[in-house]
Chain A
Amino acid sequence: QSVLTQPPSVSAAPGQKVTISCSGSSSNIGNNFVSWYQHFPGAAPKLLIYDNYKRPSGIPDRFSGSKSGTSATLGITGLLTGDEADYYCGTWDSRLNVVVFGGGTKLTVL
């Protein structure tokens, strides 16, 4: 059971927009920055979003992040079939002094 809660799966058509939620608590999301990762099977996870909404160099602006209270959201616009992957949220938990991840969300682009 993951500390952060994500929907197991989301789907949308090519060109559409999708959002993935990540719910936590005051000790993690509520008081720390959230990151998002994209993970293709057999590959290394890639950092998509850090500090709630910032994008590392090379990440297209189709990917966006936001945070409100103890929840965070990843948004992906202009969906491509190549976006089909697993997406994870992560942050620090100040009460436990550990890194926590969500259970992952499988994105299907229909």
Chain B
Amino acid sequence: QVTLRESGPALVKPTQTLTLTCTFSGFSLRPSGMCVGWIRQPPGKALEWLARIDWDDDKFYNTSLKPRLTIAKDTSKNQVVLTMTNVDSVDTATYYCARADMGSYGSGSPFDIWGQGTMVTVSS
């Protein structure tokens, strides 16, 4: 069974760095085509893609957030970590990690399994 679980602080102060961890099971990031992405949803707003890391360590970032984001993987621990620097109230959102199995699907990067999400509030 494939599962992903997000973890991180529920409350972060403005200007601080947010670190989120995605711990997954049931698959590995070693095989060709396997990827993990981060997506967020601010309250009352749409899904917003943040970043994706691929099996070969290729990394892709949301264009407008790229200066503030870093994604990394620890294949031995089955974890993907997303850091976001200099957070602001507009970063208050539910953050999801999700798997994209590019080896099984076409070029659209579909996220087939999602975590339950973790709510992060940015406030002083």
Contacts and interface: CB of A to CB of B under 8 A. Distances in A.
A50 B106 contact: yes
Interface in B46-79: 46-49, 52, 60-63
From DSSP, what is the main secondary structure of chain B's interface residues?
A: loop
A33 B107 CA distance: 6
B50 to A, nearest CB: 9
B69 to A, nearest CB: 12
A99 B37 contact: yes
Interface residues of B, number: 26
A33 B106 contact: yes
Contacts of B113: 47
Nearest to B111: A47
Given A2-B46, A45-B114, A50-B112, A97 B60 contact: yes
B46 A91 contact: no
Contacts of A102: 46
Interface in B97-111: 98, 105-111
A104 B48 CA distance: 10
Interface of A: 2, 31-35, 37, 39, 43-47, 50-52, 56, 88, 90-92, 94, 96-104
